Chains A and B, each alone.
Chain A
Amino acid sequence: MKVTVTVNGRPVAAGVADRTLLVHFLRDEAGLTATNIGCDTSSCGACTVLLDGQSVKSCTVLAVQADGSEVTTVEGLASDSGDMHPVQRAFHAEHALQCGFCTPGMVMAAVSLLAENPKPTEEQVRSGLEGNLCRCTGYHNIVRAVLAASEG
């Protein structure tokens, strides 16, 4: 069926099978491959995006469910002039990424977390990111980056 999703401010329309997952719509129809797939049980959070401002695991949303919605991926975070989002800048400054595979989902989860709780404690950051797995950083610098971003 035909689905139209506004992705990073740009409408993307495509005919998709009913079972098509949002993450595949983003990767294959919108051509935005930053959002990764790290599991098949909604456990790892690599595919986290914002759907109408709320963070979702895009492997757990059907593309048809997103019809008419707005989606933001990590490619859409930087400003129009190309400046990185404060969370992206903090991830860079704090060495909060290594292989980079979890990073787009982790950044989007962090953006969502800070939107809900602009001044989280370390414990709140840790519990807030529990649904996003990273195998490289031990989470140490990710937590520091989110806290740094929260302090502006």
Chain B
Amino acid sequence: MSILGTRVVRTEDPRLLTAGGTYVDDLRVPELAGAARVTFVRSPLAHARITGIDASAAHEAPGLVAVLTYRDINDIPPPPLPPEGGPPPGSEAAPLPLGGPWQEPLLAVDRVRFVGEAVAIVLTDDSYQGEDAAELVTVDYEPLPAVVDLGEAMAGGTLLFPDAGSNVPVAHPAGDLAFDGCDVVVEREIVNQRVAPVPMEGRATAASWVDGKLTVWASTQNAQISRFILAGAFGLDPAAIRVIAPDVGGGFGAKVGLDRDAIVVAWAARHTGRAVRWVETRSENLTGMTHGRAQRHTVKIGGTRDGRVLAYRLDVVQDTGAYPRMGGFLPTLTNLMAPGPYDIAHVEAGYRVVVTTTTPISAYRGAGRPEATAAIERAMDLFAAEIGMDPAEVRRKNLVPSDQFPYQTPCGALYDTGDYIGGLDKVLAGAGYADLRAEQARRRERGDVVQIGIGVSCYVEITAADADNGETARVVVHDDGTATVYTGSSAHGQGHHTSWAMIVEADLGIPMDKVTVKHGDTDEIPLGTGTYASRSLQLGGVAVHRANLEVKELARKLAADLMEASEADLELDTASGSWQVRGDPAASRTWADVASYAGAEGLAAFVHYTDGAPTFPFGSHVAVAEVDTETGKVTLVRHVTVDDAGTVLNPVLTEGQRHGGIAQGVAQALLEEMVYDADGNPLTGTLVDYATITAAELPSFELLVSETPATVNPLGAKGIGEAGTIGATPAMQSAVIDAVSHLGVRHIDMPTTPVRVWAAISEARASQ
């Protein structure tokens, strides 16, 4: 029996549990001995002109090595101009700034555009000295008006980039849509608030420049993309750069590639000739690392009184923060997935990207897709409430039926495979939906202070959207019978080392404990893409599988030669990991035999898998919340999910991905928000103020199994990393609203904090 699909605990864990990981701050490699600490001097103002920088006092500080500002960056080429015909769209793989008038400097030149923007760096012998020295750098600011409100930003009264002439770098607004034939049309504005990714390890970069070679250790999701970014920034041959991603303490999309602060750190090593290390503080992280979501939606939905949705229009305003690092990428994905899992005849979606004097926005677990799902799911609930139909029933009437796949949406996506109605029915049965509604009715009848709400969400998402970028794998079988996998994918908690070893064992019969997996070092793996967009298994895993098959065919030839048999008669017994001649069980050769016979040429294969295609995982979530109608306090009581990501390689790992995603989704719905005041000051800039979800605010989750294989790859796999945030967020939000809907509440924006819930109840009661 194949090991694939079985429950295998991780091979990564014993080291992490007993010795701890080796994150950037833990590196004790010789190249970083005596590395200077980098401390950033950051803007305390949201928007200001810089009229002077005086570092003279800092130069007297103990342990000071250097103070560097934009004036010192005179040894790298100017940033590339944007391509002809408008700005590049940006992508999750290469979130490059738009360039031209929107160019983001490495260190602020004459203007700062968000609190936390890097103005200067100090290099000191240790980190305590760095904090002291940074305090001594005096920057003169002439304040400019902050631009926080999206409406004000679009009006353009104050421009962040005067040369651009607008605060809207990219605009594809939604066109008009006739709601012909609709008995009911509902329209509403919905806020999908700005949240902070909060990986437990913040950003961290170390660098050394020795003999014309730059080595950068970075907490990144993609070593190879990071090298590409550095080569472009410094005008260096990629061969002169080595990027190493050691253990990475979480990414969630915010560590794709390298951002400007990391580039500055790498530059400082080259500029000064001294090895450097930067590990940001959490307060620095909460304003310096990109945030996610930050969309305002206007949804309009129409249909018949018997529950059929006929038309849906979604208009997105994407707050992109101070610099449009991703161009229009995030709202493009939101538009692509606008209709969700529903068969809606007429859909119109559009977006505008708006700059504000806040921390830049980038990918965060789901990256545009949770926003699409939140919008359509709220719209479905509003429609259901308007026609007085159960929200689960409205969904069932509109889900794409199983016999319609592949299903072409009006927004351009081709949904590959699915059983959307089956998923909904399974989650409703698992949650005991009818009983929950009965309990809700009893509490309402009694007028209980604590009411119960049931939130239902259905979703479909796109994973491996950039499948054509592909992924690499090199599999080597050594003469002792062990194997090494070099993967272009990148692990930061997902369990690649376990999964890839399982694929080798399944394909070649080399036991997992004889398989070493290497990733995240561009000297060993120059070509690769890395981890984001739930792409690892369906691209990186398939690349390993394909490389295994190539190794197997090479081995077959070698074994035939070695055993003096015909290739056609040779078969690999994966149970014992040996080559055998059909009909002659006595003749057998091990992998060690065959690899030894291969000699110096070795037994190895490299695959760059680029002919895959995006996949469309789907599912349904039910959240059950208790809401205290006197205080507005919400308690998530149960969360039940079906998340179908195709064929599961290792249930232990997919469950872990689902758990983590659910928690982050619930966190956005209930608690988390990056808040700015009207002057652009972050009010949630520490973990005391930012309401990161804890164990005490969550129940255990109830996961149901559903596997509808993908047909576009040989593993049948779809992505699972982002399902939780996509499915859980709207279910949780809906549960809160549902708990108080009988009081006249139709909508509460996220996060559904006690004060918002209490205010919504009070307002509804006052209007009745």
Contact = CB atoms under 8 A, between A and B. Distances in A.
B17 A135 contact: no
Contact of A137 (B252, B281, B659, B686): B659
A92 B12 CA distance: 9
Interface string B246-280: 01111010000000000000000000000000010
Interface in B616-660: 652-653, 655-656, 659-660
Contacts of A141: 655-656, 659
B250 A133 contact: no
A132 B659 CA distance: 17
Interface residues of A, number: 56
Contact of B18 (A75, A98, A122, A140): A75
Contact of B687 (A43, A84, A99): A43
B652 A130 contact: no
B696 A98 contact: no
A19 B694 CA distance: 30
B687 A133 contact: yes
A91 B17 contact: yes
Contact of B252 (A35, A104, A135): A135
Given A101-B249, A133-B200, A138-B724, A95 B653 contact: yes
Contacts of B97: none
A75 B16 CA distance: 10
A46 B25 CA distance: 14
A34 B25 CA distance: 10
A102 interface: yes
Interface string B1-39: 000000001101110111111110110100000000000
Contact of A97 (B17, B23, B664): B17
Contact of B20 (A75, A78, A134, A140): A75
Contacts of B14: 84, 92
B688 A41 contact: yes
B696 A130 contact: yes
A136 B20 contact: no
Interface in A108-152: 122, 125-127, 129-144
A74 interface: yes
B122 interface: no
B339 to A, nearest CB: 28
Contact of A134 (B12, B200, B661): B200
B662 interface: yes
Quick one: which of A75, A88, A134, A135 has the most chain B CB within 10 A? A135
Contacts of B494: 98
B685 to A, nearest CB: 10
B195 to A, nearest CB: 12
Q: How large is the interface on B (under 10, 10 to 19, 20 to 34, 35 or more residues)?
A: 35 or more
Given A41-B687, A107-B17, A130 B247 contact: no
A14 interface: no
Contacts of A122: 700
Contacts of B252: 135
Contacts of A40: 281-283, 686
Nearest to B696: A130
B25 A95 contact: no
A55 interface: no
A143 B697 CA distance: 13
Interface string A13-47: 00001011000000100010111111111011010
A99 B12 CA distance: 10
B13 to A, nearest CB: 5
Contacts of A133: 198, 200, 687, 692, 694
Given A122-B700, A130-B694, A135-B664, A33 B22 contact: yes
A82 to B, nearest CB: 8
Interface in A1-23: 17, 19-20
Sort A-B residue pairs by CB-CB distance and give the 8 closest, nearest first.
Answer: A34-B20, A101-B249, A138-B663, A98-B493, A99-B493, A100-B16, A43-B687, A138-B659
Interface of A: 17, 19-20, 27, 31, 33-41, 43-44, 46, 74-75, 77-78, 84, 88, 91-93, 95, 97-104, 107, 122, 125-127, 129-144
Given A75-B20, A91-B13, A97-B13, 12 more contacts: A27-B25, A27-B26, A36-B25, A37-B279, A38-B282, A41-B688, A98-B656, A100-B20, A102-B200, A103-B16, A130-B696, A136-B493
8 contacts: A78-B18, A92-B9, A95-B9, A101-B21, A130-B696, A133-B694, A136-B656, A138-B701
